[in-house]
Amino acid sequence: MLDTAAKPWYHYGNFNMENAMITWDEDNFMKFYKGSEAFVRGEAGYYALFLELIGDEELLAHIKFANDVLGIPPLRSFVLFERDACGREVFRAKLSAAAKRGLGSCFGYLYKVVYGGYTSEQCWFNDEETGIKTASRFLKI
């Protein structure tokens, strides 16, 4: 169970960019997705949670498999894992429009720029708790 009294849910945890297998270039991300600076600065908790994800090689590999083989949008896998598998409270309330767009942009950048060779396709998600209606799945070009 998550100890929310000790630290907020958006704490960076054990994330260390130097040890991450994925190289995340925040400046390039903000240039690639204009307007994402508001997400990085204003929705820092969700951004920190995404950074924690890219530091977890095993989880990221499972999410990538779900996208590549099963056609499940990475955002859907991420939300359901954090909320249902981990029991975190983070995705149990409506997200702001900036948070929804920002998380989608993070996955878009991850697949299109970091992994490369992907295009996106909108899918129906309709998560009542978060208010997320659609999410992108990524198809290899």
pLDDT, residue 13, reads 43
Residue 15 vs residue 135, higher pLDDT: 135
For 58, residues 6+ apart whose C-beta sits below 8 A from its C-beta are none
**Predicted TM-score of the model (pTM):** 0.83
Q: What is the DSSP letter of 58?
A: H
Classify residue 141 as exposed, middle or buried by CB count within 10 Å of its CB (0-12, 13-18, 19+): exposed
pLDDT, residue 44, reads 83
Dist. CA 138–CA 67, nearest whole Å: 7
Write out pLDDT tens, residues 68-125.
999 999 999 999 999 999 988 999 999 999 999 999 999 999 999 999 999 999 999 9
CB 66 within 8 A of CB 74: yes
pLDDT tier at 21, thresholds 50, 70, 90: low
- HSE-CB for 129 with a 13 A CA cutoff: 12
